[in-house]
Amino acid sequence: MIQSTPEVHAPAQGHQNPKSHPMTSEDIWRLLRVGAPAISGDGQVVITAVTSYDMEKNEGRSRLWRISPNGGEPRPVTTADLSSREPALSPDGTRLAFVRSAPGEKPQLHVMPLDGGEPEKLTDLPMGCYDPRWFPDGKRIAVLANLYKDAPTPAGTRELMETRQKEPVKAIATEDRLFRFWDRWLTDGDVPHLFVLDLESRELRDLTPETRRWFELMDPGGQYDISPDGKEIAFSANSSEPPHERTNWDIFTLDVASGAIKNLTAGNPLDDSRPRYSPDGKHILYGMQVQYGFYADKVRLVLFERATDRHIVLTESWDRSAAGWEFSPKSGRIVFHAEDRGRVAIYTMGLEAGVPTEVHRGGNIAGISVASDATIYFAQDSVSSPPEAACCAEDGSNFRWISGFNAGLLQEIQRGEVRERTFAGADGAEVQMFLVFPPGFDEKNKYPLVHMIHGGPHGMFGDQFHFRWNAHAFAAPGYVVALVNFHGSTSWGQEFARCILGGWGDRPYRDIMAATDLLEKEPWIDPTRMAATGGSYGGYMVSWIAGHTDRFTCLVNHAGVSDLLGQWASDVAEGREVSMGGSPWENLDRMDEWNPIRHASNFKSPMLVLHGERDYRVPYTQGLQIYSVYKGMGLPARLVVFPDENHWVLKPRNSRMWFGEVLGWLGRYLGPGKS
């Protein structure tokens, strides 16, 4: 049975609060950000982290709430003056473990009884801790905490931190290929350790005292699991050695008693992730990728038989990428979510190879947990509504929302109609896009067109609420916003995503132009007022558009790649010769064929350039370069640099300024009377 839910939280068109207003950047930061639900084994206790932001203080704070799976008002579990997150319920559902921090402090492990009582702080680790998990006996808790490789104890790391803070020389030296990531240097040498805390003796024991391995670098949480008998821990970590010429993440097992570690997936040269033990302890489920240089290679589910050391690939014949998998304690079936055609659905399957069964289709789904009665809990959102907690039966029936933290505020915010449309893109292939209309849209009038071009390039602008590139905030001034899922986008299968390798400016550009051609014919689009906006790869495409057409009245380029040669300064340069079709030392002409800056002589459309100075993924010199080229050519351009932001703009006040700059630029060229 497939269950698909309509737009539940967004008020129906024409029935909004008469005092409501179009979406603003202030609204985006007023909305509460609801995390994935954590559940007790029987599903009767549901805890979720809810993050709120204070624009004046320019900070956010998370609080844990208990919500009822059967209805009723939520109630706070933790105080509002400290930030609490990552809830984990004890096996018997009576105690809650979580990490908590005060402003300026590192997060530490806390435990509290759910029937009343204050949280107790149980760790004092120098870099804090994260991702707590209960052992099945309820007497121990595992937690991750980073320590320096050169001082791999809590005391040693604390001492080294103090020494480094006092050291006047801050130079960095390395011979590693992977030496920084996102917005931090990896040369500091801190790596995650697995600790276990005995709740009776309060002994904190390092299970991996000799480790020198990274967990997943962007978000290391969720990358380990404890066996049902509590004797073993499976985790995903890198197996590459310095200088890390080619990184690889494998699945390891750790014997809790002896500390012995075994690599289960040394035979796969690419990444293996997210191990999960089956309820009977006979299997470990994990995800596997096999194509080098293609980070969006589909994730295959693999079942490892512990008794025989046999690896069984379950989803090779299925042309989608699995994520967030867990086992159902009742049926033993695998439950997970995956992108499909611009949305995310929940799937189930048994322990045999084959095609999974779709049971529930949402807009976007994340954070699956499965109770002992086979109820699936998760967070769900859509392009018009931010995430809320929800649940359904294992067969997809009995879907219901179990939280509505934003329901009242959403009644105050006008959101226009959202339509889905397909068209013939590059080489005649079917391409999908979402259209977001401004509130009060009238087909008798003409409106400017604004393209939002997603990053990646292997990602998608799906039916998802985006707190940074929010389509309703872009549409609010009176624009029709187009979100094209061009070739290279995920959720349409392996070949659709990988076909742009070595040709970044080819099919995606033709898809966006085909969408523009189609929309220009609509009587409600003003073809003299059109803009293209994008971030990261979307910024690359904006730069590519600048050199290949002047049909857009203005352009917005956030953290965009303008020079493929310069992108070799990125934090992750490994495999770029595959995605770019060449390298500075081999096939340079092929790579340069798709280099936006080589077409600068054709630049005409005014461009707003925005970048974060701490952006290591697309170094901010990329933004400086194209801005300076524009100014050197005497073309209209504006530069906005955020010294304290990375690839994303995450601070409330910076975000408010970002929206002001973007919408101000669009208004300058697309506003009434502009043509």
Mean pLDDT value across residues 573-602: 95
- Of 7, 30, 6, 33, the closest CA to residue 366 belongs to 33
Task: Give the per-residue pLDDT at 17.
Answer: 73
- 336: CB partners within 8 A, 6+ apart: 301, 322, 323, 324, 325, 326, 346, 347, 348, 356, 368
> 104: which residues sit within 8 A by CB, 6+ positions away?
none
Helix axes 507-520, 537-546, angle to 10 degrees: 70
The predicted structure's pLDDT at residue 98: 98
Instruction: Tell me how far apart the alpha carbons of residues 369 and 76 are, in angstroms, rounded to a whole number.
Output: 21
Residue 252 has pLDDT above 80, yes or no: yes
Q: Give the mean pLDDT of the chain.
A: 95
Mean pLDDT value across residues 554-563: 98
Q: What is the pTM of this model?
A: 0.95
Q: Report angle CA 531, 533, 539 to the nearest 5 degrees.
A: 135
Gap between the Cα atoms of 156 and 206, Å rounded: 13
Question: Which structural domains are found in the chain, ordered by start?
Answer: 416-670 (3.40.50.1820)
Question: For 163-213, how does the pLDDT look when each residue is reduced to its tens digit (9 = 90+)?
Answer: 999 999 999 999 999 999 999 999 999 999 999 999 999 999 999 999 999
The confidence band for 516, taking pLDDT boundaries of 50, 70 and 90, is: very high
650, pLDDT greater than 60: yes
pLDDT digits (tens, 9 = 90+) for 421-465: 999 999 999 999 999 999 999 999 999 999 999 999 999 999 999
Q: What does the pLDDT read at residue 9?
A: 35
Burial class (CB in 10 A: 0-12, 13-18, 19+), 115: exposed
> What residues form DSSP beta bridges with 99?
85, 109
Alpha helices in 547-672 (DSSP H): 576-580, 588-592, 621-632, 652-670
CA 156 to chain centre: 34
Residue 7: predicted pLDDT:
41
DSSP classification of residue 524: T
Judge whether residue 411 has pLDDT over 90. yes
When pLDDT is cut at 50, 70 and 90, the band that residue 1 belongs to is very low
634 versus 675: the higher-pLDDT residue is 634
> What is residue 297's predicted lDDT score, i.e. its pLDDT?
96
pLDDT above 90 covers a percentage of the chain that reads: 95
Q: 147 Cβ partners below 8 Å, 6+ apart? A: 126, 127, 153, 154, 156, 157, 190, 191, 193
Residue 103 has pLDDT above 90, yes or no: no
Q: For the sheet containing 400-401, what is the strand order?
A: 364-370, 376-382, 385-392, 400-401
Opening angle at CA 367, ends 9 and 416, nearest 5: 25
How many angstroms separate the CA atoms of 265 and 234, rounded?
Answer: 12
What was the pLDDT predicted at 364?
A: 97
- CB neighbour list of residue 27: distance below 8 Å, 6 or more residues apart: 409, 412, 413, 473
pLDDT at 10 over 80: no
Query: Is a pLDDT exceeding 80 seen at residue 673?
Result: no
Q: Which residues contact 673 (CB under 8 A, 6 or more apart)?
A: none
- The pLDDT assigned to 675 comes to 55
Sequence-distant (6+) residues with CB within 8 A of 378 are 36, 37, 337, 346, 365, 366, 367, 368, 369, 389, 390, 391
Pairing status of strand 430-436 against strand 418-424: antiparallel
CA–CA distance, 403 with 382 (Å, rounded to integer): 15
Q: Given a cut of 70, is residue 389 above it in pLDDT?
A: yes
pLDDT band for position 19 (cuts 50, 70, 90):
confident
Residue 4 has pLDDT above 50, yes or no: no
- Residue 671's pLDDT band, with cuts at 50, 70 and 90, is confident
* Residue 468: closest CA among 7, 30, 29: 29
- CA–CA dist 9, 29 (Å, integer): 18
Residue 139 reports pLDDT greater than 80: yes
Q: Is the pLDDT of residue 12 over 80?
A: no
| For residues 576-596, average pLDDT | 95
